Amino acid sequence: MNCFEVRQDFPAFWRRELLEYRRAEMNAHLGQCSKCDAAFRTFAMTAPVLHSEHAPQTPAGSGARPREVALESAARPASSARVNYSEPRRWLAMCASAIIFIAASTGAYLAVTPPAASLSEALTSPREPSMQDLFGPDTPDLSNDLAG
Amino acid sequence: MLGLAASRKFGWRLISKPDEELIAEALGGESSAFSELATRHRARVERLCQRFFSDPEIARDLTQECFIRAYTALASYRKEMPFGGWLRAIVTNLCYDELRRRRRRPEELVGDFSAMEVQWMHLVNDATPEQLVSDAEERRHAHDLAHRLLDTLRPEDRTVLIMKDSEGMNVSEIAQTMGWSAAKVKIRAFRARQALRRESERLQAAARRWSS
Structure ipTM: 0.81
Say if CB B90 and CB B178 are below 8 A apart. no
- Interface size A-B, in CB pairs within 8 Å, comes to 157
- What pLDDT, on the 0 to 100 scale, is given for residue A81? 34
pLDDT band for B202, please (50, 70, 90 cuts).
confident
Q: What angle is formed at CA B166 by the lines to CA B165 and CA B167, rounded to 5 degrees?
A: 100
Say if the Cβ atoms of B3 and A98 lie within 8 Å.
yes
Contacts of A53 (CB under 8 A, 6+ apart): A15, B47
pLDDT over 60 at B182, yes or no:
yes
- What pLDDT, on the 0 to 100 scale, is given for residue A126? 59
Distances (CA, A) of B98 to A58, A66, B62, B149: 22, 20, 9, 18
Strand ranges (DSSP E) for A8-141? none
Say if CB B195 and CB B157 are below 8 A apart. yes
SS3 for A148?
Answer: coil
Say if CB A141 and CB A130 are below 8 A apart. yes
Contacts of B185 (CB under 8 A, 6+ apart): B160, B171, B174, B175, B178
Residues of A in contact with B25 (CB under 8 A): none
Say if CB B95 and CB B62 are below 8 A apart. yes
Say if the Cβ atoms of A97 and B6 lie within 8 Å.
yes
Say if the Cβ atoms of B64 and A83 lie within 8 Å.
no
Residue in B closest to A89 by C-alpha: B12
Nearest beta carbon to residue B42 from set A55, A80, A89: A80
Say if the Cβ atoms of A26 and B14 lie within 8 Å.
no
CA dist B193 and A113 (Å) reads 78
CA dist A53 and A71 (Å) reads 29
Say if the Cβ atoms of B31 and A74 lie within 8 Å.
yes
> From the CB of residue B12, how many other CB atoms can be counted at a distance below 10 Å?
19
If 0-12 CB within 10 Å is exposed, 13-18 middle and 19+ buried, where does residue B192 land? buried
Say if the Cβ atoms of B50 and A55 lie within 8 Å.
yes
φ, ψ dihedrals at A66, nearest 5°:
-65, 135
Mutate to test the interface with A, among B200, B202, B204 (most CBs of A within 10 A): B200
Contacts of B199 (CB under 8 A, 6+ apart): B109, B149, B152
Total-model pTM? 0.66
- The mean pLDDT of B43-67, rounded to a whole number, is 93
Residues of A in contact with B153 (CB under 8 A): none
Residues of B in contact with A97 (CB under 8 A): 2-3, 6
Nearest to B56, CA basis, from B159, B156, B143, B160: B143
Alpha helices, DSSP H only, in chain A? Answer: 3-8, 10-14, 20-32, 34-50, 72-75, 87-112, 116-124, 131-135, 143-147
pLDDT in tens, chain A (148 residues): 899 999 999 999 998 899 999 999 999 999 999 999 989 988 998 999 998 877 666 554 443 333 333 344 444 443 333 334 445 677 888 889 999 999 998 888 887 765 555 556 656 655 666 667 667 777 766 656 655 5
Nearest beta carbon to residue B165 from set A51, A78, A100: A51
Nearest beta carbon to residue A44 from set B36, B136, B150: B136
Tell me the per-residue pLDDT of B69-108, one tens digit each, with 9 for 90 and over.
999 999 888 888 889 999 999 999 999 999 998 875 555 5
Q: CA of A43 to nearest chain B CA: how many angstroms apart?
A: 9
